[in-house]
Amino acid sequence: PAVTGRLLTRLREGAPQDQRLASLTDREREVLGLISDGLTNREIGERLFLAEKTVKNYVSGLLAKLGMQRRTQAAVYGADVRRN
């Protein structure tokens, strides 16, 4: 939880030069952070009190906004944002 909190802060405040990140909603950023933590859609849904299908919709949306095709790409991107 502490790591996720730091990532969410970084995702919200950091890297304003990255327009892809700026295009995400707060919820999409939250989902991205949890993807970066290695959680499955089911685990994310349990954590955020959402249906697994709702999480899938968020993942699809954030992948499209980030110009990515795979969840692993988003996980790496989120981890990079966390580090920088």
Q: Which CATH number belongs to the domain containing residue 21 in this structure?
A: 1.10.10.10
- The DSSP result for 10-76, as a single string, is HHHHS-TT-HHHHTS-HHHHHHHHHHHTT--HHHHHHHHT--HHHHHHHHHHHHHHHT-S-HHHHHH
Centre a 10 Å sphere on the Cβ of residue 80 and count the other Cβ atoms it contains.
11
- What is the residue range of 59's domain? 2-83
Q: pLDDT tens digits for 42-84? A: 999 999 999 999 999 999 999 999 999 999 999 999 998 888 7
User: What Cα–Cα distance (Å) separates residue 83 from each residue in 7, 10, 51, 64?
Assistant: 9, 9, 30, 23
Task: Please state the pTM of the whole predicted model.
Answer: 0.79
Q: pLDDT tens digits for 11-43? A: 666 545 578 888 999 999 999 999 999 999 999
Q: Is the pLDDT of residue 8 over 80?
A: no
Total number of domains in the chain: 1
